[in-house]
C-alpha cells in the first residue's frame, strides 16, 4: 500500500469537495464525530416552538434551523460568508425565514430587544454585547459554542498553539510571557 499516494489522493479529493453550507455528506463513512448528548438541534426546536421572534447568528447554510418543526412568527438568520448566504436563503425559504448578509465584527443590523430567542450553533465569534442588545429582557441565548478552543488538546498535542488567536502564521504559540 502506498500511503503517500493515498494521502495525496485524499487531499486532492478534499480540496475539490464543496464547502458551502455545513453539509459534509462527502465525508460519510470516512470521518466520525462524537456529538454532545444534549442534542443542540432538539433544544433549538423546543425553544423555537415557544418563541415569538428568533435570530440564528452565523447560520451557515441554514441546515440546523431548517429542521425546526414549529418556527416562530418572526424568524431571522444572519450569515457572514457570501457563498452561504444564498444557500441559507434557499434552505430557509420554506420556513418563511429572512436571511440577512452581515459583515463580520459589525453590529447586528437589528433594533434593540428585537428577539426573545437568539441561537448560534458555531459562532465565528460571540459578540456578547450585541447578543444582549438584540435580546428582549428575559430572552434566551442558546449556543453550542464550538470554535477554535474546541480542539485545544489536539492542537497542544501536535505542538500547535491551543488558542489560534494567539498564534502567528506558523500556528505556534509565542514564547511564554509575551502575550498581553
Lowest mean pLDDT among 42-46, 113-117, 146-150, 162-166: 162-166
Cβ neighbour number for residue 37 with a 10 Å cutoff: 5
Segment 119-142, tens digit of pLDDT: 999 887 899 999 999 999 999 999
Instruction: Say whether pTM exceeds 0.85.
Output: no
Q: Cβ contacts of residue 103 below 8 Å, gap of 6+?
A: 80
Domain range annotation of the chain: 40-143, 148-180
| Mean of per-residue pLDDT scores for the chain | 83
Higher-confidence residue of 159 and 142: namely: 142
Q: For residue 132, what are the CA distances in angstroms to 19, 64, 115, 119, 167?
A: 31, 22, 10, 12, 29
- Among residues of the chain, what percentage have pLDDT more than 70? 73
Q: What is the pLDDT of residue 13?
A: 82
Q: Is the pLDDT of residue 179 over 80?
A: no
Segment 84-115, tens digit of pLDDT: 999 999 999 999 999 999 998 899 999 999 99
CA angle 75, 95, 100 (to 5 degrees): 45
- In the numeric block, which cell numbers belong to residue 120? 448560534
Q: What is the pLDDT of residue 41?
A: 93
Q: What is the DSSP string of 55-81?
A: EETT-TTSTTGGG-SS--SEEEEEE-S
Q: What is the pLDDT of residue 176?
A: 47
Confidence of residue 9 (pLDDT cuts 50, 70, 90): confident
Segment 31-62, tens digit of pLDDT: 666 667 779 999 999 999 999 999 999 999 99
Q: What is the pLDDT of residue 154?
A: 55
Q: What is the pLDDT of residue 64?
A: 93
CA angle 101, 104, 109 (to 5 degrees): 55
Q: Which CATH number fits domain 40-143: 3.40.50.150, 3.30.470.20, 3.40.640.10, 3.60.150.10?
A: 3.40.50.150
Amino acid at each position: 500500500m502506498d500511503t503517500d499516494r493515498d494521502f495525496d489522493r485524499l487531499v486532492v479529493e478534499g480540496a475539490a469537495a464543496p464547502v458551502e453550507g455545513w453539509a459534509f455528506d462527502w465525508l460519510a463513512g470516512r470521518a466520525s464525530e462524537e456529538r454532545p448528548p444534549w442534542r443542540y438541534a432538539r433544544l433549538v426546536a423546543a425553544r423555537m416552538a415557544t418563541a415569538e421572534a428568533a435570530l440564528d447568528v452565523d447560520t451557515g447554510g441554514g441546515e440546523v434551523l431548517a429542521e425546526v418543526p414549529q418556527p416562530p412568527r418572526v424568524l431571522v438568520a444572519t450569515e457572514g460568508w457570501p457563498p452561504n448566504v444564498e444557500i441559507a436563503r434557499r434552505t430557509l425559504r420554506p420556513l418563511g425565514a429572512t436571511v440577512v448578509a452581515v459583515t463580520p465584527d459589525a453590529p447586528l443590523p437589528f433594533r434593540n430587544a428585537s428577539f426573545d430567542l437568539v441561537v448560534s450553533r458555531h459562532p465565528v465569534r460571540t459578540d456578547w454585547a450585541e447578543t444582549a442588545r438584540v435580546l428582549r429582557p428575559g430572552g434566551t441565548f442558546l449556543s453550542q459554542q464550538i470554535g477554535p478552543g474546541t480542539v485545544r488538546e489536539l492542537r497542544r498535542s501536535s505542538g500547535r498553539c491551543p488558542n489560534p488567536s494567539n498564534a502567528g502564521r506558523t500556528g505556534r504559540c509565542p514564547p511564554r510571557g509575551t502575550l498581553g
